[in-house]
Structure 1
Amino acid sequence: MINKDHAKSDFRKSCICTLRFMSQYTKIRKDKTIVKKLLQVINELNARKILIYIPMDMEVNVLPLINKLRKRRGFEVYVPYMCGDTFKAVKYRLPLEVKKFGIKEPRNSFVRAKLDLAIVPVVGIDKAGKRIGFGKGMYDRFFYRLKRKPTIVFTQRILCMTNQNLTDQYDIQADYIITS
């Protein structure tokens, strides 16, 4: 019998390899398509308080979406701010500083917002539609601790999905999965 953790690790490595070796032109084209789809979901759901990640190279570049939302009246944009084994949602504002794992973050703030929508990057998705991330569990811990769960949207340039159940009960599941 195959160890679930080993299978999950192998699947994660395979997905990362696929995501890493994509031309810059392809990344840009796919990212524009995904950002357009994200805007449609935001408008359809009338989401105003949105958690969104600051992208790393393998993740969908959502910075144009962040900039559009910040210019619109009535929208609040939050991003993850790492705290120990999880993160908290802080208002997006400049300047950004490079922190742990090479992730950019704004300065810490003490805002408690009831999020309407969370846009979450994924490395892969298992058979149950649950997130496979980089293996740190920060998103899982963050959402577990929330009293009111927002609508969750997974983003990925190329759908990297397995027909196996590799996740645990506490792993987060999306309401929407958006790829190009």
Structure 2
Amino acid sequence: MSAEEGEVTKQQQRERVIDYRQRLTDKELLHKSMEIKKKLFELDEFVEAEIIMFYVDFRNEVKTEFMIKEALSEGKRVVIPISQVEDRSLLLSELKDYDQELEVGTYDILEPKEEYIRPVDHSELDLVIVPGVAFDEDCNRLGYGGGYYDRFSANLDSQVNRLALAFEIQIVDQVVTDEHDLPVDKVLTEKRVII
């Protein structure tokens, strides 16, 4: 997305990058996600974190299932979000068994079954893994338009690192942002870590 293409709206940028991402094959998705996982698991912020919030991937996002399972096997506590549509907030719940505890929920994203909801306060988090549609080299983030993560992030302690996982095709020259949009601390792609 070069500057000479003129002004693009958030929605245009969102649609364009999602279209790029949808063209990735399952094999490419898995390979690139594995490369991103290697970078994530080597980061000091990840190694030192005890309680990590992951998103559960959907629609050609960076795959997180195997990351979550490995983090659990390493003894880390994993928290995942449940979308609260009424006020567009995120309810956090601790996940202990990926295969047993999840079902299709809001927006067709996997969420904990009711009997497995274990609320966790955002103040307990050491690290947050953030999804997104597009990012730039200043770590600006374009989300899906619901504002869930921006609202959530605004209440996080400034000590809590927010890392985004993205494919290189999701990195654009400049993300279209407004005053509510909060940047992340780092963006991890299959090729690099953007700080």
2:22 and 2:44 mapped to 1: Cα distance? 28
Q: TM-score, normalised by structure 2?
A: 0.81
Mapping of residues 54-133 of structure 1, within 5 Å: 54-73=56-75, 75-83=76-84, 84=86, 85-93=88-96, 94-106=100-112, 107=114, 108-112=117-121, 113-126=123-136, 128-133=138-143
Asked whether the 8 Å contact 1:16–1:123 carries over to 2, the reply is yes
2:45 and 2:109 mapped to 1: Cα distance? 28
Q: Deviations over 1:4-49 (max 9, x none)?
A: 7x61111110000000011111111101101111111156651111
| Alpha-carbon offset, residue 98 of structure 1 | 0.9
Q: Cα gap change, 1:160/1:17 in structure 2, threshold over 3 Å: closer, same or farther?
A: same
Asked whether the 8 Å contact 1:50–1:116 carries over to 2, the reply is yes
1:153 aligns with 2:153: no
Unmatched segments (≥5 aa) in structure 2: 1-6, 191-195
- Cα RMSD after superposing both structures: 2.3
Q: Which moved more, 1:95-104 or 1:165-174?
A: 165-174
2:36 and 2:14 mapped to 1: Cα distance? 22
Asked whether the 8 Å contact 2:46–2:127 carries over to 1, the reply is no
Q: Cα gap change, 1:44/1:117 in structure 2, threshold over 3 Å: closer, same or farther?
A: closer
Asked whether the 8 Å contact 1:127–1:165 carries over to 2, the reply is no
Alignment correspondent of 2:179: 169
Which AA in structure 1 matches 2:108?
G
Which AA in structure 2 matches 1:15?
V
